[in-house]
Amino acid sequence: MSAASGGNEQHALVDDINRTRAELGDTVEALVAKVDVKARAQQRVADVSTQARQRVAGVSTQARGKLQAAWDSAPEPVQRGARRVAQTVDQHRAPAAAAAVGAVLLAGWLAVRRRRR
């Protein structure tokens, strides 16, 4: 009985050692993951990027819906005028872009000037 019980105790001890090794390995992997700042930063960037894409997609969908609703409720003469402006902009993209940039710069300059007064 003592030999059988010694064999069982030895087997249980080996199992316990193997379990402890596995737990220790898991603990070491977890610690390495926490210490790996570069990998954590890259994961965070990926998460934020995904969230930003999802928000942009949602806002874009909302904007399209509101724009379509505004377009549908606009009178026909306004729609014709808007189409004409869009065609003109399509034909003259560079000057239209320059005018838009100029308008933004002018608005920014005026805002700064008002704050200084």
Distance CA 18, CA 10 (A): 12
**How much is the pLDDT for 40?**
83
**How much is the pLDDT for 1?**
46
**How much is the pLDDT for 3?**
55
Q: Which residues of 10-22 are buried (b: 16+ CB within 10 A; e: fewer)?
A: eeeeeeeeeeeee
Residues 6+ apart with CB under 8 A from 79: 71
- Under a CB-based contact definition with an 8 Å cutoff, are residues 74 and 82 in contact? yes
Measured CA angle at 70 (ends 93, 84), to 5 deg: 35
**How much is the pLDDT for 31?**
87
**How much is the pLDDT for 39?**
83
**How much is the pLDDT for 5?**
67
Show pLDDT as tens, one digit a residue, over the chain (117 residues): 455 666 789 999 999 999 999 999 999 988 888 888 888 889 899 999 999 999 999 999 999 999 899 889 989 999 899 999 889 888 888 888 888 899 999 999 999 988 887
- Under a CB-based contact definition with an 8 Å cutoff, are residues 33 and 39 in contact? yes
